[in-house]
Amino acid sequence: MTKAPDARSFEVRHVQLARAAFAAIAAIMVTFSPDHSSVIGLSIFSGFALATGLVLVAAGWLVFTVDTRWPTVGLGAIFVIAGLAAGIAQLRNDTMFFVIVIAWALLSGLAETVMGARGLRAARGLPKTDAARTESRDGLTVGILTLVLGLGLLFVPTTYALRYTIEDANATFTLTGIIIGVGVFGAYAAIVAVYLGIAGLSPRKAATVLSAPPGEPAAEIRESATDERGTA
């Protein structure tokens, strides 16, 4: 185990905070939008996916090492492609909302889950409080949440429609599949925003490099955040 030669200007915490910010914006837009149509839902998703994808691609070079760069860039590419597809006006209908978001959720969720699991395996034997294990666990958790989103949307019928009346308001409304789908995505974004926000604001420690088992990527372990840097 050796200490990294120098401290990076950008760290995993910055990536987590950026992702949390974009997820929070998406959650707020879904929550306060009176229109939960596929057009609005795909517009919000497109901005969220493109912004997050660009952050992940940039992080591949600015934050991660050669061993973990390309998986991160690949994850970012999935986000960017999904965001671009959601931005095509001709594709903005109820069916395509579910197709695009489900495909993105299953692909990106699986990729991030695998990355997190491999990181935990590389950091096997380290204390549970080690930064390498914590960051891998955060990635694994977000990946699982994204998979749950994709699987959950699979069970929402696109043609579902339920009419109901609120007597006090003297009005009749219709709950449709697309309203449920956009709402579920908004709830997912809110959960991810809170989780990654807490993770990004948690104390970080100076980077050290741990040799990984044969065939596994090297894991970065961060030890003591500001204290060790000040005394190095």
What does the domain layout of the chain look like in residue ranges?
A: 11-204
> What per-residue confidence (pLDDT) applies to 230?
38
pLDDT at 191 exceeding the cut of 90: yes
CB 180 within 8 A of CB 156: yes
pLDDT in tens, 9-53: 778 889 999 999 999 999 999 999 999 999 999 999 999 999 999
Highest-confidence range of 113-127, 132-146, 161-175, by mean pLDDT? 132-146
pLDDT in tens, 192-230: 999 999 999 987 654 444 444 444 444 443 433 333 333
> What per-residue confidence (pLDDT) applies to 216?
44
> What per-residue confidence (pLDDT) applies to 214?
43
pLDDT-derived band at 126 (thresholds 50, 70, 90) equals low
pLDDT at 1 exceeding the cut of 90: no
Query: For the residues 97-112, what does the mean pLDDT come to?
Result: 98
> What per-residue confidence (pLDDT) applies to 204?
60
CB 99 within 8 A of CB 194: no
Query: For the residues 131-156, what does the mean pLDDT come to?
Result: 93
pLDDT-derived band at 4 (thresholds 50, 70, 90) equals very low
Q: Residue 162 is encoded by which pair of tokens?
A: 């339920």
Among 9-13, 68-72, 74-78, 183-187, name the one with the lowest average pLDDT: 9-13
Which among 194, 196, 188, 185 is positioned nearest to 138, based on CA atoms?
Answer: 196
> What per-residue confidence (pLDDT) applies to 125?
67
- The continuous run of DSSP H or E covering 120 comes out as helix 94-122
Close Cβ partners of 31 (under 8 Å, ≥ 6 residues apart): 186, 190
pLDDT-derived band at 166 (thresholds 50, 70, 90) equals confident
pTM of the full structure? 0.83
